[in-house]
Structure formats: structure tokens, C-alpha cells
Amino acid sequence: MSDGMITGVLGDVKVRRPRLLSPLREHLRDTMWFAPTMGLVGALVLWAVTAELDTRIVQAAQDAGDYDTVESLMSIAEDAKTVISTIGSAMMTFIGVVFSISLVAVQMASGQFSPRVVRLYVRSRITKATLTVFLATFLFSLMTLTSFDSESDPRKLTSVPLIESVLALAMVFLSLLLFVAYVNGTLRMMRVSFVIDRIARESFRVAIKHPTEGAVDDERLGPESARITHRGRAGVLRDVHIARVVRAARRQGVVLRLVPRIGDFMVPGTPVFTVHGGAAPSPRALRYTVSVGVERTFHQDLGFGLRQLADIALRALSPAVNDPTTAVQALDRIVQFLASVAAYPLGTLRHRDRRGAVRLVQPVPDWTALVDLGFAEIRGCAIGNPQVTRRMLAGLDDLLRLAPEERREPLRRHRELLAQAVDRTVPESADRAFALLPDRQGIG
């Protein structure tokens, strides 16, 4: 599928081709420590630069004999010292408020939608930016307080933190603006429509980076010559460092096939790569090529978005929640995602080196697996909710029109199973006919 075809399916969703080769950027986005740490380091550097400038301003005035100017700066500094002290104490209160709002939002999202959506809050740029600026402002104001000189003689004064005070005030105003944006962004992330839209956008970013080549069979790869097993901790295969694996395979002159799919749970001793065409690369060459963690990520996981959307729909259809409208919204995005990959080569990815030779073969979910992931569990819980059955039938009909002929069988199977389940469960013929009438809005 070309980029133009994907753009047509996605509508106005702006999808940029992401960086597939290195997972480092994605791993850092899944942490809350990196951005605040960089902000604290930046605050220290900024304070050191401004403190030096303030010192040079005072020295220049003293060298020129302009002690009246120095006294004026001292008077301004006395007034600014009170303000800076207030900033230092107030920023800690602000930081506590930010954390409180974040924890409440995460708790509500986890209980209302799915525990898998908590990562959206962890990866939120506005949350990290707000926390970073708050901490940087707090540290900068503390360092500015250390720059105030207790000397009252303008001839012996060493520094007046004038520029530092101005920058501290500017950082306070920036913090206030970010706080407003943070509250607005957090309220948006507590709405189910926004959460579902974010999950769908992440799924599209994964789909668009897949190569457009077809699958590779074992005969073209050649006979298996060796196997490389997993020697790390047990966990979920999060992603693979594609560039490093391709480089190791090129140096050895072999082709590596990734055995597990992204998202599979791995235990030590299970095979990770099969080697085709020669001896296996050294363990050192493949060090840190496989990332195993406690949860799945979007980075290279084609089915993770559907998993989250299905979880949200299942939670909405549970008797404790009973919110079929949310299930319909999740089905909207499931149908949109499946439509975007309906004509896409699935099942296997091929990664090539600079000369165009295939060096890594990576398994991904095929079309049948994606359709089952998107519809099977929701179909089992949709009976008794005509709004959901009508929307699912409309979605299946749309996909039947969009998908190639060879990919329509799983869609027909789910449509037939849904109709059979409604016939067995709903006693009244009029209710059965109503529940099996396709409607893109469910009931409207």
C-alpha cells in the first residue's frame, strides 16, 4: 500500500514516517525521569551562565567607578529576593498539584477504559513538559537565592542576580501557561473519545512504517544453520533494534529470522533468531538487540492498538459498566485501522541492508489474526446490545467492500457467527431483525 492510499484511508490524520531502526527514542518516551532530569541539568547550566553575566555587569560598573548604578542594582536585588523566595516555596506546591491531578487521571482512566491506556499518560508530552519546567524553575530559583550577596558596600559587592531574577520570573510565567495547558490536556485524556483517537493514531504510525513487500518463505531464505536463544530475563518482547541486527547479519553474510512476534512473552532458553546461510553472529554482535519488558509498546507492535481498542470495548460491554456507545466508538477505530491495512502485505517484514540484501525477516500478525483480534471477543459480548451488533455488521460490510477477495473469508466468518449468535439468543423475530440491521451509528 502506498503512502497515498494510506493517507486516503486515514483522512486528515497526519502520519509522519517514524524512526523504525532504533527503539531508544521510544524507550525514553515511556519513562518519566528523562525529561525532568534534562530540565534540571539545563536549569543548572542556565544559572551558571546568567550568574557569570551578573557578576560581569557588577564588575564593569565597579571598574567604571559607577557606584550609583551598583547601589541601584542592590536596591532592585533586595526587592527581587523576596519574590524569588516566594517562587521557590510556591513551585513545590505546584508540583504537588500536578502529581495529584496526574494520579487521579491515571486511576480513572485505568478503571474506566483499560490498564493498557495508562501508558498514554506516561508518554504525554504536556505532562512531561509541565513537570520539567516546574522542577527547573524550582531549582533555578534556589540557585538564584545563593547568588544574593550580603555585602552592603558597593565597592566590595561581587554579584547582583539581576538577570537571574528576571529569568526566574519568566520561568514562572511559562510555568503558569504550561499549567493551564496541562489541565486542559489532562481533561481531554479523561474523555473516552480522545483516548480512543490517540490509540488509533499510534496504531496508524505503526502500520505506515511497514515495508510494502510481500512475505518471504523459508525456501528463499535457505536452510536453517543455527539458532540463537534468549538469555535475558523473562518478559514481553517489546521491540528489536533493527539496525543493529541488520548490521550483524551483514557482517556475517547471513539472514536472521526473528522467531517470536513483537508482543510475545519470552522465557530464557527459547529461540529468538534462526540463522540462514552461514554461521551465527557472535553473541557480542547481537547484544542489546532484543528489548524485553513487563508490557507491550506501540513501537513495532502492529496488533497492540487493536488489543487496547478491544479491551476498551469489552470493559464498556461488561454488566458493571454497560456502555455500548463506547464500544461503538472503539469499533469505529477498529474498522478504520483494518481498512487502512486491508490491501497491505502482512505476515512478514523484510529488512534490508544498504546494498538491498534481505538480512532480517520479522513476523507480524497476518490479516486473519488482526480481524480476529478486532472482532472475536467483542462479538462474543455484543449479543444483547443491538447498538453494537448493528455497528459491527456495518463495519464488516464496509471491510468486505474494501478488502481484496482473498481476505474476505474471515470477515464473512465473523458476520455469519454474529448472525447465528443473535438468532440463538434473541427470542423475538422483530428484535432479531432489528439487531441484524447494519448501521454505522449503531442505533443512531
User: How does pLDDT run across 371-400, given as a tens digit for each residue?
Assistant: 999 999 999 999 989 999 999 999 999 999
Q: What is the pLDDT of residue 2?
A: 39
Q: Can you tell me which residue has the cell 528576571?
A: 166
Taking only the tens place, the pLDDT of each residue in 285-307 is 888 889 998 888 888 888 999 99
The pLDDT of residue 315 is: 92
Mean pLDDT confidence for 247-272: 93
In the predicted model, is pLDDT for residue 280 greater than 60?
Answer: yes
Average pLDDT of 18-27? 60
Q: In what side-by-side order are the strands of the sheet with 235-240?
A: 265-266, 235-240, 290-293
The per-residue pLDDT for 9 is 41
pLDDT (tens digit per residue) in 25-64: 777 878 888 999 999 999 999 999 999 998 888 888 887 8
β-strand 224-229 against 271-276: which pairing, if any? antiparallel
Dump pLDDT digits (tens) for 154-172: 777 777 888 898 899 999 9
The pLDDT value given to residue 214: 52
Residue 210's pLDDT band, with cuts at 50, 70 and 90, is low
Of 6 and 122, more confident: 122
pLDDT at 5: 39
Q: Name the DSSP class of 240.
A: E
What is the Cα–Cα distance from 32 to 52, expressed in whole angstroms? Answer: 32
What is d(CA 330, CA 326) in angstroms, rounded to the nearest whole number? 6
**Amino acid 390: pLDDT:** 95
More confident residue, 235 or 101: 235
Cell of 443: 442505533
Instruction: Please give the pLDDT value at position 32.
Output: 84
Q: How far apart are CA 180 and CA 320, in angstroms?
A: 34
- pLDDT value, residue 312: 93
Least confident of 19-23, 122-126, 270-274, 350-354: 19-23
Question: pLDDT tier at 433 (50, 70, 90 boundaries)?
Answer: very high
When pLDDT is averaged across residues 264-289 and rounded to a whole number, the result is 90
* Amino acid identity at 78: E
Averaged pLDDT, 338-342: 92
pTM as predicted: 0.80
Q: Would you state the pLDDT for residue 60?
A: 85
DSSP character at residue 280: P
* Burial class (CB within 10 angstroms; exposed 0-12, middle 13-18, buried 19+) of 6: middle
Dist. CA 178–CA 126, nearest whole Å:
8
Residue 3's pLDDT is what?
41
What is the percent of the chain where pLDDT is above 70?
92
Residue 328 has a CB neighbour count (10 Å cut-off) of: 25
Is the pLDDT at 350 greater than 80, yes or no?
Answer: yes
Residue 420: the pLDDT is: 95
